[in-house]
């Protein structure tokens, strides 16, 4: 008995994503500012039933997945991790991985592929998903607004200055996850 499972990489209702041509990304990677850390591809997938991606050889870039609703899973180097609402995970470069949405409660995710000379500085020691617990100072909307700003600039990335701006914003965006307490505390101090 063979059970057929639907698996879809993209093409979902309401999805948004952008990537630039590889030739342009290679050119930008040589720039002193952009080449340190830059977006390769960025997107938003709402309630993506049957979402599934597999990279058995890994990739030369890292990937951030931020789940804002529903749930899914990631398998990194043979270890499976559940990813739920208000959690993020960073998939390291160079390691085999796969990920997908939960069948009953598919995730809504903001995601991006990123690369550059400083990428390893933004890869956690452990690939475990990290929770971002909502609260008075969680700044979740600030994080989404920053994502939208990067998305907007990256969409104009054929103009180098927009790519440079999206690259510099990427530091803040990734830091809002990795340095979660500092990101929250900074908002508290600004009042």
Per-residue pLDDT of the chain (191 residues; tens, 9 = 90+): 343 345 555 555 778 899 999 999 999 999 999 999 999 999 999 999 899 999 999 999 999 999 999 999 999 988 999 999 999 999 999 999 999 999 999 999 999 999 999 999 999 988 899 888 877 666 777 889 999 999 999 999 999 999 999 999 999 999 988 866 666 666 654 44
Tokens of 184: 């929250």
Sole residue written with tokens 């700044």: 139
pTM, to two decimals: 0.88
Could you read off the pLDDT of 46-86 as tens digits, one per residue? 999 899 999 999 999 999 999 999 999 999 988 999 999 99
Tokens of 49: 């039933």
């Amino acid at each position: 008995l063979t059970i057929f499972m639907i698996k879809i990489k993209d093409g979902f209702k309401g999805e948004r994503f952008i990537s630039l041509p590889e030739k342009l990304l290679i050119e930008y990677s040589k720039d002193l500012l952009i080449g340190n850390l830059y977006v390769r591809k960025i997107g938003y997938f709402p309630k993506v039933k049957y979402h599934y991606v597999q990279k058995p050889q890994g990739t030369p870039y890292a990937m951030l997945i931020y789940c804002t609703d529903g749930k899914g899973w990631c398998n990194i180097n043979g270890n499976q991790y559940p990813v739920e609402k208000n959690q993020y995970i960073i998939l390291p470069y160079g390691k085999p991985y796969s990920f997908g949405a939960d069948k009953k409660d598919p995730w809504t995710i903001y995601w991006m592929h990123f690369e550059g000379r400083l990428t390893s500085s933004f890869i956690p020691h452990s690939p475990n998903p990290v929770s971002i617990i909502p609260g008075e100072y969680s700044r979740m909307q600030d994080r989404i607004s920053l994502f939208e700003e990067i998305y907007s600039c990256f969409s104009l990335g054929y103009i180098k200055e927009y790519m440079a701006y999206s690259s510099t914003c990427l530091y803040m965006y990734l830091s809002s996850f990795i340095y979660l307490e500092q990101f929250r505390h900074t908002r508290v101090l600004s009042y």
